[in-house]
């Protein structure tokens, strides 16, 4: 189930170049595309290697996203 959400949000991040982290913070541009690729790759690897890959990917996305997010203008 988490893999499907990762793929959906990863594709949206790649196509829109925007990823909303919270109500007040958003990631745009190249950072959003990087997170999109990480989410799609993590979902694909997690399908074959197990749920620990998905959890690791989730932690990476959360930490990187919170570090690079900007306030919504």
Report the C-alpha gap between 13 and 37 in whole angstroms: 9
Task: Residue 44: give the domain boundaries.
Answer: 2-71
Q: Is residue 72's pLDDT more than 80?
A: yes
pLDDT at 1 over 90: no
Is it the case that residue 73 has pLDDT exceeding 90? no
**Largest separation between any pair of C-alpha atoms in the chain:** 40
User: How many domains are contained in the chain?
Assistant: 1
Coil vs helix vs strand at 22: coil
Q: 17: part of which helix (H) or strand (E)?
A: none
pTM, 2 dp? 0.89
pLDDT (tens digit, 9 = 90+) per residue, 2-57? 899 999 999 999 999 999 988 999 999 999 999 999 999 999 999 899 889 999 99
Q: What angle do CA 57, 28, 26 make, to 5 degrees?
A: 75
């Amino acid at each position: 189930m988490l893999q499907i959400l990762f793929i959906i949000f990863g594709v949206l991040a790649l196509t829109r170049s925007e990823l909303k982290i919270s109500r007040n913070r958003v990631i745009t541009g190249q950072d959003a595309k990087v997170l999109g690729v990480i989410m799609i790759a993590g979902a694909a690897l997690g399908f074959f290697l197990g749920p620990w890959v998905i959890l690791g990917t989730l932690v990476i996305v959360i930490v990187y996203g919170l570090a690079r997010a900007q306030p919504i203008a």
